A and B are shown apart, each in its own frame.
Chain A
Amino acid sequence: MVKVTFVAHDGRRFPVEIEPGMTAREAALFNEVPGIDGDCGGQCACATCHVHVDPAWIDRVGRLADDSMEADLLQFAEGTTTESRLACQIKLDDRLDGLVLRVPEQQY
Protein backbone atom coordinates (compact mmCIF):
# COMPACT_ATOMS: atom_id res chain seq x y z
CA MET A 1 0.00 0.00 0.00
CA VAL A 2 1.08 3.58 -0.61
CA LYS A 3 0.55 6.15 2.14
CA VAL A 4 -0.58 9.65 1.12
CA THR A 5 -1.42 12.53 3.44
CA PHE A 6 -3.80 15.23 2.22
CA VAL A 7 -3.59 18.52 4.14
CA ALA A 8 -6.80 20.54 3.97
CA HIS A 9 -6.85 24.31 3.63
CA ASP A 10 -7.63 24.64 7.35
CA GLY A 11 -4.66 22.45 8.29
CA ARG A 12 -6.53 19.22 9.04
CA ARG A 13 -4.56 16.16 7.93
CA PHE A 14 -6.10 13.16 6.18
CA PRO A 15 -3.67 10.21 6.04
CA VAL A 16 -4.91 7.51 3.63
CA GLU A 17 -3.60 4.32 2.09
CA ILE A 18 -4.19 3.00 -1.39
CA GLU A 19 -2.92 0.31 -3.69
CA PRO A 20 -0.04 1.15 -6.00
CA GLY A 21 -1.19 2.03 -9.52
CA MET A 22 -4.10 4.17 -8.37
CA THR A 23 -4.01 7.96 -8.66
CA ALA A 24 -3.96 10.62 -5.96
CA ARG A 25 -7.46 11.64 -7.07
CA GLU A 26 -8.73 8.15 -6.37
CA ALA A 27 -6.86 8.07 -3.06
CA ALA A 28 -8.79 11.19 -2.03
CA LEU A 29 -12.22 10.25 -3.38
CA PHE A 30 -12.22 6.63 -2.23
CA ASN A 31 -11.34 7.80 1.29
CA GLU A 32 -13.75 10.75 1.31
CA VAL A 33 -11.06 13.37 1.72
CA PRO A 34 -12.88 16.72 1.42
CA GLY A 35 -11.92 19.34 -1.13
CA ILE A 36 -11.17 17.15 -4.16
CA ASP A 37 -14.11 17.27 -6.56
CA GLY A 38 -12.81 15.41 -9.61
CA ASP A 39 -15.86 16.21 -11.73
CA CYS A 40 -14.66 14.64 -14.99
CA GLY A 41 -14.01 11.19 -13.63
CA GLY A 42 -10.21 11.35 -13.70
CA GLN A 43 -9.69 12.05 -17.38
CA CYS A 44 -7.67 15.27 -17.09
CA ALA A 45 -10.57 17.28 -18.47
CA CYS A 46 -11.82 19.64 -15.76
CA ALA A 47 -9.13 20.72 -13.25
CA THR A 48 -11.29 20.14 -10.15
CA CYS A 49 -8.72 17.87 -8.45
CA HIS A 50 -6.09 20.58 -8.11
CA VAL A 51 -3.47 19.97 -5.40
CA HIS A 52 -0.26 21.63 -4.28
CA VAL A 53 2.47 19.04 -3.98
CA ASP A 54 4.55 19.50 -0.83
CA PRO A 55 7.83 21.12 -1.95
CA ALA A 56 9.81 18.21 -0.47
CA TRP A 57 8.02 15.86 -2.87
CA ILE A 58 7.68 17.90 -6.04
CA ASP A 59 10.82 16.61 -7.74
CA ARG A 60 9.82 13.00 -7.20
CA VAL A 61 6.24 13.66 -8.38
CA GLY A 62 7.46 15.81 -11.24
CA ARG A 63 6.44 19.32 -12.16
CA LEU A 64 3.71 20.26 -14.57
CA ALA A 65 4.84 19.62 -18.16
CA ASP A 66 4.62 22.58 -20.52
CA ASP A 67 2.18 22.20 -23.37
CA SER A 68 0.30 19.37 -21.67
CA MET A 69 -3.47 19.14 -21.29
CA GLU A 70 -2.90 19.35 -17.55
CA ALA A 71 -1.09 22.69 -17.94
CA ASP A 72 -3.74 23.95 -20.37
CA LEU A 73 -6.43 23.32 -17.77
CA LEU A 74 -4.56 24.46 -14.66
CA GLN A 75 -3.89 27.89 -16.11
CA PHE A 76 -7.54 28.76 -15.41
CA ALA A 77 -7.59 27.41 -11.84
CA GLU A 78 -7.46 29.70 -8.83
CA GLY A 79 -4.39 29.95 -6.62
CA THR A 80 -1.95 27.89 -8.67
CA THR A 81 1.73 27.72 -7.72
CA THR A 82 4.83 26.11 -9.21
CA GLU A 83 3.91 23.01 -7.18
CA SER A 84 0.38 22.74 -8.62
CA ARG A 85 -0.70 19.46 -10.21
CA LEU A 86 -3.93 17.64 -10.95
CA ALA A 87 -4.33 14.72 -8.57
CA CYS A 88 -5.72 12.53 -11.38
CA GLN A 89 -2.34 12.78 -13.11
CA ILE A 90 -0.31 11.65 -10.09
CA LYS A 91 0.03 7.89 -10.30
CA LEU A 92 1.01 6.40 -6.98
CA ASP A 93 3.77 3.85 -6.57
CA ASP A 94 6.25 2.82 -3.88
CA ARG A 95 8.52 5.74 -4.75
CA LEU A 96 5.75 8.08 -3.60
CA ASP A 97 5.03 6.29 -0.32
CA GLY A 98 4.59 9.06 2.29
CA LEU A 99 3.57 11.72 -0.24
CA VAL A 100 2.07 14.97 1.14
CA LEU A 101 -0.46 16.93 -0.95
CA ARG A 102 -2.12 20.19 0.03
CA VAL A 103 -5.74 20.79 -0.98
CA PRO A 104 -6.70 24.32 -2.05
CA GLU A 105 -9.60 26.15 -0.41
CA GLN A 106 -12.00 25.37 -3.26
CA GLN A 107 -11.94 23.62 -6.61
CA TYR A 108 -13.01 25.42 -9.71
Chain B
Amino acid sequence: MATRSMQSGPDREEPDRPIAEIPLAEIDVSRPSLFQSDKVGAFFERLRREDPVHYCSESAFGPYWSITRYNDIMAVDTNHKLFSSEAKLGGIAIQDMHNDATNLELEMFIAMDQPKHDAQRKAVTPAVAPSNLLLLEPVIRERAGAILDSLPVGEEIDWVKSVSVELTTMTLATLFDFPWDERAKLTRWSDVTTAIPGSGIVESNEQRREELIECAMYFKGLWDQRVDRSEGSDLITMMANSPATREMPFLEFLGNLLLLIVGGNDTTRNSISGGVIALNQNPDQYEKLRQHPSLIGSMVPEIIRWQTPLTHMRRTALADSEIGGKRIAKGDKVVMWYLSGNRDETVIERPEEFIIDRKNPRQHLSFGYGIHRCMGNRLAELQLRIIWEEIHKRFRLVEMVGEPERLLSNLVRGITRLPVKLHAH
Protein backbone atom coordinates (compact mmCIF):
# COMPACT_ATOMS: atom_id res chain seq x y z
CA MET B 1 0.00 0.00 0.00
CA ALA B 2 2.69 2.49 -0.93
CA THR B 3 1.99 5.84 -2.43
CA ARG B 4 2.13 4.69 -6.02
CA SER B 5 0.82 1.25 -5.35
CA MET B 6 -2.48 2.58 -4.07
CA GLN B 7 -3.06 4.88 -6.99
CA SER B 8 -4.91 4.22 -10.10
CA GLY B 9 -3.29 5.12 -13.36
CA PRO B 10 -4.59 6.77 -16.47
CA ASP B 11 -7.66 5.30 -18.06
CA ARG B 12 -8.26 4.38 -21.68
CA GLU B 13 -11.44 5.38 -23.42
CA GLU B 14 -13.65 2.37 -23.88
CA PRO B 15 -16.16 2.40 -26.71
CA ASP B 16 -19.63 1.57 -25.49
CA ARG B 17 -20.28 -2.02 -26.57
CA PRO B 18 -21.91 -5.00 -24.89
CA ILE B 19 -19.52 -6.90 -22.65
CA ALA B 20 -20.36 -10.22 -24.32
CA GLU B 21 -19.07 -8.87 -27.65
CA ILE B 22 -15.64 -7.82 -26.43
CA PRO B 23 -12.99 -10.39 -27.42
CA LEU B 24 -11.58 -12.00 -24.27
CA ALA B 25 -8.07 -10.89 -25.12
CA GLU B 26 -9.17 -7.27 -25.08
CA ILE B 27 -10.76 -7.34 -21.64
CA ASP B 28 -8.88 -5.11 -19.22
CA VAL B 29 -10.50 -5.02 -15.78
CA SER B 30 -7.84 -2.70 -14.36
CA ARG B 31 -9.42 0.46 -15.76
CA PRO B 32 -10.27 2.66 -12.75
CA SER B 33 -13.38 4.08 -14.46
CA LEU B 34 -14.96 0.60 -14.36
CA PHE B 35 -14.84 0.75 -10.58
CA GLN B 36 -16.03 4.34 -10.34
CA SER B 37 -19.09 3.50 -12.45
CA ASP B 38 -19.44 0.20 -10.51
CA LYS B 39 -19.68 -1.69 -13.81
CA VAL B 40 -16.69 -3.98 -13.32
CA GLY B 41 -18.82 -6.79 -11.87
CA ALA B 42 -20.18 -7.81 -15.27
CA PHE B 43 -16.62 -8.16 -16.61
CA PHE B 44 -15.61 -10.33 -13.67
CA GLU B 45 -18.74 -12.43 -14.12
CA ARG B 46 -17.74 -13.15 -17.72
CA LEU B 47 -14.12 -13.93 -16.81
CA ARG B 48 -15.13 -16.32 -14.02
CA ARG B 49 -17.29 -18.18 -16.52
CA GLU B 50 -15.16 -18.13 -19.67
CA ASP B 51 -11.56 -17.50 -18.69
CA PRO B 52 -11.09 -17.50 -14.91
CA VAL B 53 -7.31 -17.11 -15.07
CA HIS B 54 -7.10 -14.37 -17.65
CA TYR B 55 -4.09 -12.72 -19.25
CA CYS B 56 -4.25 -9.06 -20.21
CA SER B 57 -1.23 -8.32 -22.39
CA GLU B 58 -1.62 -4.59 -22.51
CA SER B 59 -2.86 -2.18 -19.87
CA ALA B 60 -1.92 1.10 -18.25
CA PHE B 61 -0.21 -1.05 -15.62
CA GLY B 62 1.57 -3.39 -18.01
CA PRO B 63 0.68 -7.03 -18.66
CA TYR B 64 -0.98 -8.92 -15.81
CA TRP B 65 -2.89 -12.06 -14.92
CA SER B 66 -6.36 -11.77 -13.41
CA ILE B 67 -7.29 -14.49 -10.92
CA THR B 68 -11.06 -14.31 -10.61
CA ARG B 69 -12.28 -17.48 -8.88
CA TYR B 70 -12.42 -17.94 -5.11
CA ASN B 71 -10.39 -21.14 -4.91
CA ASP B 72 -7.65 -19.98 -7.29
CA ILE B 73 -7.31 -16.77 -5.28
CA MET B 74 -7.03 -18.80 -2.08
CA ALA B 75 -4.31 -20.95 -3.68
CA VAL B 76 -2.22 -17.92 -4.66
CA ASP B 77 -2.77 -16.06 -1.39
CA THR B 78 -1.60 -19.01 0.71
CA ASN B 79 1.48 -19.72 -1.40
CA HIS B 80 3.75 -16.92 -0.23
CA LYS B 81 6.87 -18.87 -1.05
CA LEU B 82 5.98 -18.86 -4.75
CA PHE B 83 4.04 -15.60 -5.03
CA SER B 84 5.99 -12.67 -3.64
CA SER B 85 4.78 -9.40 -2.09
CA GLU B 86 8.22 -7.77 -2.27
CA ALA B 87 8.11 -4.06 -3.08
CA LYS B 88 11.21 -4.25 -5.27
CA LEU B 89 9.45 -6.76 -7.52
CA GLY B 90 6.42 -4.50 -7.76
CA GLY B 91 4.72 -5.00 -4.43
CA ILE B 92 1.11 -5.72 -3.59
CA ALA B 93 -1.03 -3.76 -6.04
CA ILE B 94 -1.44 -3.78 -9.80
CA GLN B 95 0.34 -0.43 -9.94
CA ASP B 96 4.03 -1.19 -9.33
CA MET B 97 5.71 0.35 -6.32
CA HIS B 98 9.05 2.10 -6.69
CA ASN B 99 8.49 2.91 -10.35
CA ASP B 100 8.51 6.67 -10.36
CA ALA B 101 11.40 8.97 -9.53
CA THR B 102 9.07 11.57 -8.05
CA ASN B 103 7.86 9.11 -5.47
CA LEU B 104 9.20 8.03 -2.12
CA GLU B 105 10.50 4.46 -2.07
CA LEU B 106 8.48 3.52 0.95
CA GLU B 107 8.92 0.19 2.63
CA MET B 108 6.20 -1.55 4.60
CA PHE B 109 5.78 -5.07 5.87
CA ILE B 110 2.75 -5.84 3.73
CA ALA B 111 5.13 -5.50 0.77
CA MET B 112 7.86 -7.70 2.21
CA ASP B 113 8.47 -11.44 2.17
CA GLN B 114 9.68 -13.63 5.02
CA PRO B 115 11.55 -13.30 7.31
CA LYS B 116 11.52 -9.50 7.58
CA HIS B 117 7.75 -9.35 7.13
CA ASP B 118 7.20 -11.67 10.07
CA ALA B 119 9.37 -9.74 12.53
CA GLN B 120 7.81 -6.37 11.72
CA ARG B 121 4.26 -7.64 11.69
CA LYS B 122 4.76 -9.31 15.05
CA ALA B 123 5.91 -6.01 16.52
CA VAL B 124 2.62 -4.21 15.83
CA THR B 125 0.09 -7.06 15.98
CA PRO B 126 -0.56 -6.73 19.75
CA ALA B 127 -2.22 -3.33 19.16
CA VAL B 128 -5.12 -5.03 17.39
CA ALA B 129 -5.09 -8.38 19.20
CA PRO B 130 -8.29 -9.49 20.99
CA SER B 131 -7.13 -8.50 24.48
CA ASN B 132 -6.41 -4.94 23.35
CA LEU B 133 -9.72 -4.75 21.49
CA LEU B 134 -11.55 -5.49 24.74
CA LEU B 135 -10.02 -2.30 26.13
CA LEU B 136 -10.89 -0.33 23.01
CA GLU B 137 -14.52 -1.38 22.76
CA PRO B 138 -16.04 1.00 25.35
CA VAL B 139 -14.03 3.91 23.97
CA ILE B 140 -15.17 3.26 20.39
CA ARG B 141 -18.76 2.77 21.55
CA GLU B 142 -18.84 6.05 23.43
CA ARG B 143 -17.41 7.91 20.45
CA ALA B 144 -19.75 6.23 17.99
CA GLY B 145 -22.70 7.20 20.18
CA ALA B 146 -21.52 10.81 20.35
CA ILE B 147 -21.20 11.00 16.56
CA LEU B 148 -24.72 9.62 16.03
CA ASP B 149 -26.23 11.85 18.73
CA SER B 150 -24.89 14.93 16.94
CA LEU B 151 -26.71 14.16 13.68
CA PRO B 152 -29.93 15.94 12.65
CA VAL B 153 -33.01 13.76 12.09
CA GLY B 154 -35.02 14.25 8.90
CA GLU B 155 -32.46 16.40 7.07
CA GLU B 156 -30.24 15.32 4.20
CA ILE B 157 -26.66 14.68 5.33
CA ASP B 158 -23.60 13.06 3.77
CA TRP B 159 -23.13 9.76 5.65
CA VAL B 160 -19.53 9.40 4.44
CA LYS B 161 -18.40 12.71 5.89
CA SER B 162 -20.61 12.74 8.98
CA VAL B 163 -20.22 9.14 10.15
CA SER B 164 -17.85 6.87 8.20
CA VAL B 165 -14.90 9.26 8.15
CA GLU B 166 -15.50 10.51 11.70
CA LEU B 167 -15.67 7.09 13.34
CA THR B 168 -12.66 5.57 11.58
CA THR B 169 -10.57 8.66 12.21
CA MET B 170 -11.42 8.61 15.90
CA THR B 171 -10.53 4.93 16.15
CA LEU B 172 -7.25 5.48 14.38
CA ALA B 173 -6.40 8.40 16.65
CA THR B 174 -7.10 6.11 19.61
CA LEU B 175 -4.84 3.35 18.26
CA PHE B 176 -1.97 5.78 17.72
CA ASP B 177 -2.79 7.78 20.87
CA PHE B 178 -2.67 10.70 18.43
CA PRO B 179 -3.22 14.30 19.60
CA TRP B 180 -7.02 14.45 19.59
CA ASP B 181 -7.57 17.93 18.20
CA GLU B 182 -5.32 17.23 15.25
CA ARG B 183 -6.83 13.89 14.27
CA ALA B 184 -8.12 15.24 10.93
CA LYS B 185 -4.48 15.08 9.81
CA LEU B 186 -4.75 11.28 9.86
CA THR B 187 -7.64 11.31 7.40
CA ARG B 188 -5.77 13.73 5.18
CA TRP B 189 -2.62 11.58 5.13
CA SER B 190 -4.66 8.48 4.43
CA ASP B 191 -6.39 10.16 1.49
CA VAL B 192 -3.13 11.61 0.17
CA THR B 193 -1.48 8.20 0.24
CA THR B 194 -4.03 6.69 -2.11
CA ALA B 195 -4.92 9.69 -4.29
CA ILE B 196 -4.37 10.16 -8.00
CA PRO B 197 -2.81 13.53 -8.95
CA GLY B 198 -5.55 15.78 -10.27
CA SER B 199 -8.32 13.84 -8.52
CA GLY B 200 -9.08 16.77 -6.27
CA ILE B 201 -7.04 15.48 -3.33
CA VAL B 202 -3.50 16.25 -4.55
CA GLU B 203 -2.45 18.14 -7.65
CA SER B 204 0.89 16.45 -8.26
CA ASN B 205 3.25 13.75 -7.06
CA GLU B 206 5.49 16.50 -5.68
CA GLN B 207 2.66 17.72 -3.48
CA ARG B 208 2.08 14.19 -2.23
CA ARG B 209 5.73 13.74 -1.47
CA GLU B 210 5.82 16.95 0.57
CA GLU B 211 2.72 16.10 2.56
CA LEU B 212 3.92 12.59 3.33
CA ILE B 213 7.26 13.89 4.54
CA GLU B 214 5.33 16.27 6.77
CA CYS B 215 3.45 13.22 8.07
CA ALA B 216 6.70 11.44 8.79
CA MET B 217 8.14 14.42 10.65
CA TYR B 218 5.01 14.73 12.76
CA PHE B 219 5.18 11.07 13.74
CA LYS B 220 8.91 11.33 14.36
CA GLY B 221 8.04 13.95 17.00
CA LEU B 222 5.60 11.57 18.70
CA TRP B 223 8.11 8.72 18.42
CA ASP B 224 10.83 10.73 20.13
CA GLN B 225 8.47 11.47 23.04
CA ARG B 226 7.56 7.82 23.42
CA VAL B 227 10.80 5.96 22.79
CA ASP B 228 11.94 4.26 26.00
CA ARG B 229 8.52 4.85 27.50
CA SER B 230 7.76 1.61 29.29
CA GLU B 231 3.97 1.92 29.28
CA GLY B 232 1.52 2.36 26.47
CA SER B 233 -0.21 -0.03 24.12
CA ASP B 234 -0.49 2.45 21.25
CA LEU B 235 1.11 1.62 17.92
CA ILE B 236 3.82 4.27 18.12
CA THR B 237 5.02 3.20 21.55
CA MET B 238 5.02 -0.42 20.35
CA MET B 239 7.05 0.35 17.25
CA ALA B 240 9.45 2.60 19.15
CA ASN B 241 10.16 -0.07 21.73
CA SER B 242 10.26 -3.31 19.74
CA PRO B 243 13.68 -4.59 18.66
CA ALA B 244 12.16 -5.47 15.26
CA THR B 245 11.04 -1.94 14.50
CA ARG B 246 12.91 0.56 16.67
CA GLU B 247 15.90 0.92 14.35
CA MET B 248 13.86 1.20 11.18
CA PRO B 249 15.26 3.36 8.40
CA PHE B 250 13.24 6.50 7.66
CA LEU B 251 11.36 5.24 4.58
CA GLU B 252 10.49 2.02 6.34
CA PHE B 253 9.20 3.97 9.34
CA LEU B 254 7.05 6.15 7.09
CA GLY B 255 5.92 3.21 4.98
CA ASN B 256 4.74 1.16 7.94
CA LEU B 257 2.95 4.16 9.43
CA LEU B 258 1.08 4.79 6.20
CA LEU B 259 0.25 1.10 5.98
CA LEU B 260 -1.39 1.23 9.41
CA ILE B 261 -3.13 4.53 8.65
CA VAL B 262 -4.55 3.44 5.29
CA GLY B 263 -5.22 -0.10 6.47
CA GLY B 264 -7.27 1.16 9.39
CA ASN B 265 -9.00 4.00 7.66
CA ASP B 266 -10.12 3.75 4.04
CA THR B 267 -11.23 0.18 4.32
CA THR B 268 -13.50 0.39 7.35
CA ARG B 269 -14.76 3.79 6.24
CA ASN B 270 -16.04 2.29 3.01
CA SER B 271 -17.56 -0.71 4.74
CA ILE B 272 -19.49 1.61 7.06
CA SER B 273 -20.85 3.42 4.00
CA GLY B 274 -21.33 0.21 2.02
CA GLY B 275 -23.54 -1.30 4.72
CA VAL B 276 -26.01 1.58 4.39
CA ILE B 277 -26.16 1.09 0.61
CA ALA B 278 -26.59 -2.68 0.95
CA LEU B 279 -29.46 -2.39 3.44
CA ASN B 280 -31.23 0.26 1.34
CA GLN B 281 -30.95 -1.87 -1.79
CA ASN B 282 -32.27 -4.88 0.14
CA PRO B 283 -35.17 -3.56 2.23
CA ASP B 284 -36.24 -7.09 3.20
CA GLN B 285 -32.86 -7.52 4.89
CA TYR B 286 -33.23 -4.15 6.62
CA GLU B 287 -36.61 -5.28 7.94
CA LYS B 288 -35.08 -8.56 9.12
CA LEU B 289 -32.40 -6.58 10.94
CA ARG B 290 -34.99 -4.40 12.68
CA GLN B 291 -36.86 -7.53 13.81
CA HIS B 292 -33.71 -9.39 14.86
CA PRO B 293 -30.94 -6.99 15.87
CA SER B 294 -28.91 -9.94 17.16
CA LEU B 295 -28.14 -10.62 13.48
CA ILE B 296 -25.70 -7.68 13.51
CA GLY B 297 -22.99 -10.21 14.39
CA SER B 298 -23.44 -12.11 11.13
CA MET B 299 -24.36 -9.02 9.11
CA VAL B 300 -20.98 -7.44 9.75
CA PRO B 301 -18.87 -10.00 7.85
CA GLU B 302 -21.55 -10.01 5.12
CA ILE B 303 -21.12 -6.24 4.74
CA ILE B 304 -17.36 -6.75 4.44
CA ARG B 305 -17.85 -9.43 1.77
CA TRP B 306 -20.44 -7.43 -0.12
CA GLN B 307 -18.39 -4.22 -0.07
CA THR B 308 -14.93 -5.81 -0.55
CA PRO B 309 -13.15 -2.56 0.41
CA LEU B 310 -9.92 -3.55 -1.36
CA THR B 311 -10.71 -4.88 -4.82
CA HIS B 312 -7.46 -6.81 -5.19
CA MET B 313 -3.99 -7.65 -3.99
CA ARG B 314 -1.16 -8.43 -6.35
CA ARG B 315 1.77 -10.86 -6.23
CA THR B 316 4.79 -11.52 -8.43
CA ALA B 317 5.61 -15.11 -9.43
CA LEU B 318 9.06 -16.16 -8.20
CA ALA B 319 9.17 -19.22 -10.48
CA ASP B 320 7.27 -20.77 -13.37
CA SER B 321 4.04 -22.28 -12.15
CA GLU B 322 0.47 -23.14 -13.06
CA ILE B 323 -2.83 -21.70 -11.87
CA GLY B 324 -6.13 -23.11 -13.11
CA GLY B 325 -4.40 -24.81 -16.03
CA LYS B 326 -2.60 -21.65 -17.22
CA ARG B 327 1.17 -21.37 -17.28
CA ILE B 328 2.44 -18.47 -15.21
CA ALA B 329 6.03 -17.45 -15.93
CA LYS B 330 8.59 -16.33 -13.39
CA GLY B 331 8.28 -12.56 -12.96
CA ASP B 332 4.63 -12.36 -14.05
CA LYS B 333 2.26 -10.01 -12.28
CA VAL B 334 -0.61 -11.95 -10.69
CA VAL B 335 -3.67 -10.00 -9.55
CA MET B 336 -6.08 -11.66 -7.11
CA TRP B 337 -9.42 -9.93 -7.62
CA TYR B 338 -11.05 -10.34 -4.22
CA LEU B 339 -14.09 -8.45 -5.51
CA SER B 340 -14.60 -11.20 -8.09
CA GLY B 341 -13.85 -14.13 -5.77
CA ASN B 342 -16.41 -12.77 -3.32
CA ARG B 343 -19.04 -13.13 -6.08
CA ASP B 344 -17.99 -16.65 -7.11
CA GLU B 345 -21.22 -18.61 -7.37
CA THR B 346 -19.40 -21.95 -7.13
CA VAL B 347 -18.31 -21.19 -3.55
CA ILE B 348 -20.77 -18.61 -2.20
CA GLU B 349 -24.46 -19.27 -2.47
CA ARG B 350 -26.43 -16.47 -4.19
CA PRO B 351 -23.33 -14.28 -4.10
CA GLU B 352 -24.95 -11.22 -5.70
CA GLU B 353 -27.41 -11.01 -2.85
CA PHE B 354 -26.84 -9.29 0.47
CA ILE B 355 -28.05 -11.76 3.12
CA ILE B 356 -27.52 -10.82 6.75
CA ASP B 357 -27.93 -14.33 8.14
CA ARG B 358 -25.63 -16.37 5.93
CA LYS B 359 -24.43 -19.67 7.33
CA ASN B 360 -20.68 -19.06 7.05
CA PRO B 361 -20.49 -15.29 6.73
CA ARG B 362 -16.77 -15.05 7.48
CA GLN B 363 -15.90 -17.24 4.54
CA HIS B 364 -14.98 -14.37 2.22
CA LEU B 365 -11.80 -13.02 0.67
CA SER B 366 -11.95 -9.37 1.75
CA PHE B 367 -9.21 -9.77 4.38
CA GLY B 368 -7.05 -11.99 2.21
CA TYR B 369 -5.63 -15.26 3.52
CA GLY B 370 -2.21 -16.54 4.52
CA ILE B 371 0.57 -14.61 6.20
CA HIS B 372 -0.53 -11.24 4.79
CA ARG B 373 -4.13 -11.62 5.97
CA CYS B 374 -5.47 -8.34 7.29
CA MET B 375 -4.16 -7.92 10.82
CA GLY B 376 -6.91 -5.45 11.73
CA ASN B 377 -9.77 -7.73 10.72
CA ARG B 378 -11.25 -8.10 14.21
CA LEU B 379 -10.97 -4.35 14.82
CA ALA B 380 -12.77 -3.67 11.54
CA GLU B 381 -15.56 -6.04 12.59
CA LEU B 382 -15.69 -4.46 16.03
CA GLN B 383 -16.16 -0.96 14.63
CA LEU B 384 -18.90 -2.11 12.28
CA ARG B 385 -20.67 -4.06 15.00
CA ILE B 386 -20.62 -1.11 17.38
CA ILE B 387 -21.84 1.43 14.84
CA TRP B 388 -24.78 -0.77 13.81
CA GLU B 389 -25.68 -1.52 17.42
CA GLU B 390 -25.67 2.19 18.21
CA ILE B 391 -27.60 3.05 15.03
CA HIS B 392 -30.24 0.50 16.00
CA LYS B 393 -30.69 2.14 19.42
CA ARG B 394 -31.34 5.54 17.84
CA PHE B 395 -32.78 5.29 14.35
CA ARG B 396 -35.48 3.22 12.68
CA LEU B 397 -34.02 3.87 9.25
CA VAL B 398 -30.96 5.37 7.62
CA GLU B 399 -32.57 6.18 4.30
CA MET B 400 -30.45 6.62 1.20
CA VAL B 401 -31.92 9.64 -0.60
CA GLY B 402 -29.61 9.87 -3.61
CA GLU B 403 -27.12 7.84 -5.60
CA PRO B 404 -23.74 7.21 -3.95
CA GLU B 405 -20.63 8.67 -5.56
CA ARG B 406 -17.66 6.36 -5.99
CA LEU B 407 -13.90 6.77 -6.00
CA LEU B 408 -11.85 6.62 -9.21
CA SER B 409 -9.57 3.76 -8.16
CA ASN B 410 -8.99 0.17 -9.14
CA LEU B 411 -7.80 -0.74 -5.64
CA VAL B 412 -9.81 1.09 -2.99
CA ARG B 413 -13.52 0.39 -3.51
CA GLY B 414 -14.43 3.76 -2.14
CA ILE B 415 -17.66 5.65 -1.61
CA THR B 416 -16.98 9.38 -1.57
CA ARG B 417 -20.50 10.67 -0.95
CA LEU B 418 -23.69 9.09 0.31
CA PRO B 419 -26.74 11.31 0.88
CA VAL B 420 -29.02 9.96 3.61
CA LYS B 421 -31.89 11.03 5.85
CA LEU B 422 -32.25 9.67 9.37
CA HIS B 423 -35.60 8.51 10.73
CA ALA B 424 -36.16 8.19 14.46
CA HIS B 425 -37.97 5.22 16.01
B363 touches A44 (CB 8 A): no
A75 touches B122 (CB 8 A): yes
Provide the residues of chain A in CB contact with B378, threshold 8 Å. 106, 108
Provide the residues of chain A in CB contact with B114, threshold 8 Å. 72
Cα of A107 to Cα of B133 in the assembled complex, Å = 12
Can you report 6 residue pairs joining A to B where beta carbons are below 8 Å apart? A40-B363, A69-B370, A72-B370, A76-B118, A76-B375, A108-B129
Cα of A46 to Cα of B130 in the assembled complex, Å = 15
- Nearest Cβ in chain A — how far from B63, in angstroms? 28
B121 touches A78 (CB 8 A): no
B122 touches A46 (CB 8 A): no
B219 within 8 A of A: no
Scoring A40, A43, A73 by chain B CB atoms within 10 A of each residue's CB, the highest score goes to: A40
- Nearest Cβ in chain B — how far from A23, in angstroms? 16
Provide the residues of chain B in CB contact with A106, threshold 8 Å. 130-131, 378
Nearest 8 pairs between A and B by C-beta?
A: A106-B130, A45-B369, A39-B362, A78-B129, A45-B78, A108-B130, A72-B371, A41-B363
A87-105 near B? 1/0 per residue, CB < 8 Å? 0000000000000000001
Cα of A50 to Cα of B158 in the assembled complex, Å = 41
Chain B interface category by residue count = 20 to 34
B368-393 near A? 1/0 per residue, CB < 8 Å? 01110101001000000000000000
B360 within 8 A of A: yes
A34-75 near B? 1/0 per residue, CB < 8 Å? 000101110111111000000000000000000001001101
Provide the residues of chain B in CB contact with A41, threshold 8 Å. 360, 363
A43 touches B130 (CB 8 A): no
Provide the residues of chain B in CB contact with A107, threshold 8 Å. 130
Which of B80, B121, B125, B369 is close to A46, meaning CB atoms less than 8 Å apart? B369
Q: A43-B369, A78-B126, A107-B130 are in contact. List 12 more A-B contacts (CB 8 A).
A: A39-B363, A45-B369, A72-B80, A76-B121, A76-B122, A76-B375, A78-B130, A78-B131, A105-B131, A106-B378, A108-B129, A108-B130
Report B's interface with A, CB cutoff 8 A.
74, 77-78, 80, 114, 118, 121-122, 125-126, 129-131, 360, 362-363, 369-371, 373, 375, 378
B118 touches A75 (CB 8 A): yes
Cα of A47 to Cα of B74 in the assembled complex, Å = 14
Q: Which residue of B lies closest to A44 (CB)?
A: B78
Q: Which residue of A lies closest to B77 (CB)?
A: A45
- Nearest Cβ in chain B — how far from A18, in angstroms? 18
Provide the residues of chain B in CB contact with A69, threshold 8 Å. 78, 370
- Nearest Cβ in chain B — how far from A81, in angstroms? 15
A15-46 near B? 1/0 per residue, CB < 8 Å? 00000000000000000000001011101111
Cα of A40 to Cα of B373 in the assembled complex, Å = 11
Which of A39, A72, A105 is close to B118, meaning CB atoms less than 8 Å apart? A72
> Known contacts being A37-B362, A39-B362, A73-B370, is A45 close to B74, with CB within 8 Å?
yes
Q: Which residue of A lies closest to B378 (CB)?
A: A108
> Known contacts being A40-B363, A41-B360, A45-B78, is A73 close to B129, with CB within 8 Å?
no
Scoring B118, B122, B129 by chain A CB atoms within 10 A of each residue's CB, the highest score goes to: B129
Provide the residues of chain A in CB contact with B363, threshold 8 Å. 39-41
Q: Which residue of B lies closest to A108 (CB)?
A: B130
Cα of A45 to Cα of B377 in the assembled complex, Å = 14
